[in-house]
Amino acid sequence: MTVSCPRCGTRYRLPPRSKLGANPTYRCVRCRQVFAADAAAEAPALEDEVEPGDDDDTFTFGGAPERDDAPEPDDTPAPAPRAAHGPPPPVKSPARFAVRTVIGVTLLYALLSIYLHTHPDAVRGVLGRLPMIGTSLAEKRLDPASIQLANVRGEYQRVKGDQLVFVISGTAINNAPVAVRGVQIEGRIRGAEEQRQVVFCGAAPRDVRDLSVREIALLQTLEPPKDWTVAPGEQTTFLVVFVGPPLDLREFAAEVVAVQGQPRRRTQQT
């Protein structure tokens, strides 16, 4: 005869009655439900003697040891999802990093500029200790008023190629108590518009009539030799040339804009 599990409905074929005890109970191998076969499910003894076939499942008796090959249910609880701890970390933006870098560099440059402006002597002393270039960086700047300009005059001249130029010339007198070098003179002319030109004393030619416009422009960018100086009370000439000056020139002028003191030479002790 056959019997069905009341929970999952799995059908089983019972063994012969002679192998069953009194009031037997059964355990479903699928859902582990323990149940007893009702009297209505019993069949004639001939059917009880039929051996179990392959079409029906087998079962275990109540109280009998469980089969070792039966799958055990997994009672391990499933891991709970991990709760998020706060919002995700913000993603660093390259643009924000660039802006912060620019702001930091700007502030550093501003602080350095303020220090250089308020402590020129200290900065000059530090720069003077640098090898090779320290002497040129630490040159002492003198007051331009220590150089006096005299015999300043201006005139139109014709140069090579029949080009018209305006020339401002004169002498620069050193009234400082020390020798000076790097004297820069700025010339200005004013007509319909103002023009400016800066030259070094000691580098400009004395006469430009035999020079071309290109040669004049090149000579006005030159600096005097490093050993060129003007001793106290001595004087030197200067020449400022304007190419293509306005014909309605109303005013011209010249002034000293920069002058350097003679750099100190370090004495070596033997």
Q: Tell me how far apart the alpha carbons of residues 185 and 253 are, in angstroms, rounded to a whole number.
A: 10
pLDDT in tens, 10-62: 888 777 665 666 677 878 888 888 887 664 354 444 444 434 444 444 444 44
Tell how strand 180-190 and strand 60-61 pair up: unpaired
* Residue 151 confidence (pLDDT): 93
Cα 178 to Cα 125, 181, 202, 231, 233, distances in angstroms: 19, 10, 17, 7, 9
Q: Where are the domains of the chain?
A: 2-61, 103-137, 144-261
Question: CA angle, 91 as apex, 85 and 95 as ends, to 5°?
Answer: 160
**Those residues with Cβ within 8 angstroms of residue 119's Cβ, 6 or more apart along the chain or in another chain:** none
Is residue 68 within 8 Å of residue 29, measured between CB atoms? no
**Inter-CA distances, 92 with 78, 84, 86, 103, Å:** 36, 21, 18, 17
Cα 174 from Cα 149, distance rounded (Å):
9
Residue with tokens 């720069």: 127
List the one residue out of 261, 15, 245 whose CA is nearest residue 138.
Answer: 261
For residue 42, which of 1, 5, 12 has the smallest C-alpha distance? 1
Confidence of residue 132 (pLDDT cuts 50, 70, 90): low
Q: Hey, what are 77's tokens?
A: 């609880």
Share of the chain above pLDDT 70, in %: 65
| CATH assignment of 144-261, among 2.60.120, 1.10.620, 2.60.40, 3.40.50 | 2.60.40
Secondary structure letter of residue 172 according to DSSP: E
- Identity of the residue numbered 30: R
3-state DSSP assignment of residue 185: strand
Q: What amino acid occupies position 76? A: T
128 vs 103 pLDDT, higher one: 103
The pLDDT value recorded for residue 254 is: 95
**Burial zone of 227 (CB within 10 Å; 0-12 exposed, 13-18 middle, 19+ buried):** exposed
pLDDT category, 68, cuts 50, 70, 90? very low
For residue 27, which of 69, 59, 71 has the smallest C-alpha distance? 59
Q: Are 187 and 168 in contact (CB under 8 A)?
A: yes
Residues 208 and 167 sit within 8 Å (Cβ to Cβ): yes
Write out pLDDT tens, residues 192-231. Answer: 889 999 999 988 777 888 999 999 888 888 888 888 999 9
User: Is the entire prediction scored with pTM above 0.85?
Assistant: no
